[in-house]
A and B are shown apart, each in its own frame.
Chain A
Amino acid sequence: MKLLNHCKLFFVFLFALGTLVSTAQDAKPSLLLDLVYHQKDNVYPFVTVFAKSKVDRKFLPVANISVAIYLGQATDDGLVGTVLTDKDGRGMVTFPVKLQKVWDSLSSFHLIATTSATKQYESVTAESDITKTKISIDTTWADGVRSVVVSIKAKKGKDWVSAGEVETKVIIKRSVGNLSVGDDENYTTDSSGVVTAEFKKTTIPGDEKGNLTLVAKTEENEKYGSITIEKTLPWGVPFVSNDDHFNRRTLYATRDKAPIWLIFLAGSIFVSVWSVLVYLVFQIIKIRKAGLNS
């Protein structure tokens, strides 16, 4: 009897283990969703999402995930848009015109992003509370020192109030990557919502007129999202196209910069040979005419 009980216990244990294993195998991998609010140059905003999944201790992007983004409540009225994540797991949606009045009237708002359940992933939701902000960029020049002044204001009711303690980047936009304007790239707004960054990069080249693009932005701020503003100023060194190797007529240059001697040589060979061929066509015509006339 005791042996029978032991056997029963053993089978119960096996069954439980099997159930556990099969449940573990059936469990879907978890999907993580990042939701970021963006606003560029204080104009109408957009929202980005990033879908990822943890595989072997690494976060990997998940493509083809349908994400619905809502303003306020997850209802059809509040639907900002639906987006399908790309191969990098990212998607972007701009605010539709139908929500402009609602958005204008709000000083802070709630964003919701919800994914549809798939065969691989359960449905997940990400939410974010955003306070509406305004960002401005200005410059000062005193005692030969140029400075960039960035001001951030948050909307409170109907008023705009200074947004202090906001981490802000003040940078110069370059073709690849960015440069800090001074010694630091990151600044924090003071109680009046202002950041002043001394402009020290006085020798970097701009465009032909010396224009540089200054950028001030917050990055994925929990309260305000990612807000950006740009300003173009003639603070750079005017770019002079120098007569370097890439602008000369060489064998390795672009097609419009082929060496003259090559164009002439190749062209004259081509014309000579093809002139002979055209001449021969006329000879065949002559042979034909002679035959027909006879």
Chain B
Amino acid sequence: MENSTISKEEQITRDLLPQKFGKRGMIWTASLIVIALIGLFAYYRQLRYGLVVTGMRDYVSWGIYISNFVFFVAISLVGSLITAVFRLTDVHWSTPLTRIAEIIAVSAIVFAALIIIVDMGRPERFMNLLIYGRIQSPIMWDVIVITTYFIISIFLLYLPLLPDLKILIGRKGEGTQKFQKFYRFLGSFWKGLAIQEKINNKSVTILCITIIPVAFSIHTVTSWLFATTYRPGWDSTNFGAYFISGAFLVGAGGVAVAMYVFRKVYKLEKYITEIHFDKMGKIVVMLALLYLYFNVNEYLVPAFKMKKPEESHLQELFTGEFAIMFWFAILVGMLLPILILLFKGGRKPLPMFLVGVMVVVGAWFKRYLIVTPTLLHPFLPMYNVPESYHHYFPSWEEWAIAMGSLAGCLLVITFFVRVFPIIPIHETIIEQHETAESL
């Protein structure tokens, strides 16, 4: 019995250890690096020639960069959902997903911060925000809350990693050999002592409690960047809740995609099971319904009142220039996922992966629709301005930077998975023990 337990632990460890990139992994990583480098080159051009290389002009001064920023902030919220909410409510099935959620959160929040600096055009002036910033400005709150959320997410990634570092240190496997120094630097002091376990568990619980209001703040404050201005489409008291519900949805969709990819690539079928997909599917459908509810609120109420500026904004969305994108975001990002996931067959791994992709892509376009159409509908009519001011389409530099940032975000996750186990080894072993004991 003892021997079988040991071999089971060893099997879990072997299954979950980081692995070397295969051929597909190398192609994937190289592709991401190339896309990120193209983005860097585009950013170099933007720095050299100024924001004139973008499609942004006097009216649309927040374009694809800010859409991308809102998207990153949204997807980062998943860390708090999976890790904190589930841990505090004693939901154990989510254990294999916690690290996936946390690395998505960390990576997304890093690129959210970077894309804001890209949007500034003059990055050297960033310090002016700290030196001359007004505490009354939601932009200032956003800077503070993003920094705070990033630090908490790093802690939430690091503390549960400590027991796994002990397992990784001294492993002579192919995947971990060359990172031994790094592992020792991060966690050589972890001996698995009772006192260490106690402090660690307490710290993780404190982090889980802290991260929830901070995570809510980060997305509420981001929504206030829009809602505190008096503009058609943004002038809403509902924006905080609307943004948070959307963020939970895209985050859950992102986790569903990552679950499928990691399960397939690293052959983790034993750890990320169909039950996980089923449960995650139920969460996604609930979140999609919630987000749909807020969408109905956001569009129905102004449509009912039909104030002139709102009317022109809504017409552009429903039947005008942005109609295809709008209905795509609603159908593909919300309605179809709900329809698919209501059926048990829709919550199987492959349909869940497809739904996850639909949710994420739909969410990206939804952010674009929140930012751009409103800017093209100011209260004062656009008069005597060049024709290009009436429309906005991102330049190739903007596309390259936006895609480069998405590639960069995926690259961080890819490298993390190469170095660290994406499913917590120690926690999985403990849970296996607990399950065995309860049986």
Interface positions of A (Cβ within 8 A of B): 250-255, 258-259, 262-263, 266, 270, 273-274, 276-277, 279-280, 283-284, 286-292, 294
Contacts and interface: CB of A to CB of B under 8 A. Distances in A.
A237 to B, nearest CB: 33
B136 A277 contact: no
Given A255-B135, A258-B134, A277 B195 contact: no
A274 B155 CA distance: 13
Interface of B: 132-136, 141, 144, 148, 151-152, 155, 159, 162, 188-191, 193, 195-196, 199-200, 202-203, 206-207, 210, 214
A290 B196 contact: yes
Give me the 5 closest cross-chain CB pairs, A-B, nearest first.
Answer: A291-B189, A255-B134, A288-B189, A283-B203, A291-B191
B199 A283 contact: yes
Nearest to A255: B134
Nearest to B155: A280
Contact of B133 (A255, A279, A292): A255
19 contacts: A250-B136, A251-B136, A255-B132, A255-B136, A259-B136, A262-B136, A266-B141, A266-B144, A270-B148, A273-B214, A277-B148, A277-B152, A280-B155, A283-B202, A283-B203, A288-B189, A290-B196, A294-B191, A294-B193
Nearest to B144: A270
Given A283-B203, A286-B199, A287-B189, A277 B135 contact: no
Given A263-B135, A270-B144, A280 B207 contact: yes
Nearest to A249: B136
Chain B contact residues: helix, strand, loop or mixed:
helix
Nearest to A257: B136
Nearest to B207: A280
Contacts of A290: 189, 191, 193, 195-196, 199
Contacts of A270: 144, 148
Given A259-B136, A290-B199, 4 more contacts: A252-B136, A277-B152, A280-B203, A289-B189
Contacts of B188: 291
Contact of B135 (A258, A274, A287): A258
A254 B191 CA distance: 53
Contacts of B152: 277
Contacts of A253: 136
A90 B183 CA distance: 67
A287 B196 CA distance: 5
Given A254-B134, A255-B132, A266-B141, A291 B203 contact: no
Given A251-B136, A258-B135, A291 B190 contact: yes
Chain A contact residues: helix, strand, loop or mixed:
helix
A291 B133 CA distance: 43
Contacts of A273: 148, 210, 214
Nearest to B203: A283
A277 B158 CA distance: 13
Given A277-B152, A287-B196, A287-B199, A266 B135 contact: yes
Contacts, number: 67
Contacts of A263: 135
Nearest to A252: B136
Contacts of A262: 135-136
Nearest to A265: B135
Nearest to B209: A276
A138 B141 CA distance: 57
Nearest to B132: A255
A289 B187 CA distance: 12
Nearest to B195: A290
B297 to A, nearest CB: 26
Contacts of A266: 135, 141, 144
Nearest to B200: A287
A29 B107 CA distance: 61
Given A254-B134, A259-B136, A287-B162, A277 B214 contact: no
Contacts of A277: 148, 151-152, 155, 210
A133 B332 CA distance: 82
Nearest to A251: B136
B26 to A, nearest CB: 35
A286 B202 CA distance: 12
Given A287-B162, A294-B193, A276 B136 contact: no
Contacts of A254: 134
A286 B189 CA distance: 10
Nearest to A277: B151
A266 B152 CA distance: 18
A292 B189 contact: yes
A270 B136 CA distance: 14
B168 to A, nearest CB: 15
A270 B155 CA distance: 17
A254 B341 CA distance: 51
Contact of B148 (A251, A259, A274, A279): A274
Most buried by B among A286, A287, A294: A287
Most buried by B among A259, A263, A291, A294: A291
Contacts of B159: 284
A274 B148 CA distance: 8
A287 B134 contact: no
A277 B159 CA distance: 13
Nearest to A263: B135
A286 B199 CA distance: 8
A252 B206 CA distance: 36
Most buried by B among A250, A255, A273: A273
Contacts of A288: 189
B355 to A, nearest CB: 35
Contacts of A287: 162, 189-190, 196, 199-200
A276 B206 contact: yes
A291 to B, nearest CB: 3
A254 B155 CA distance: 36
B426 to A, nearest CB: 14
B200 to A, nearest CB: 6
Contacts of A251: 136
Contacts of B134: 254-255, 258
Contacts of B206: 276, 279-280
A70 to B, nearest CB: 41
Contacts of A276: 206, 210
B183 to A, nearest CB: 14
B82 to A, nearest CB: 20
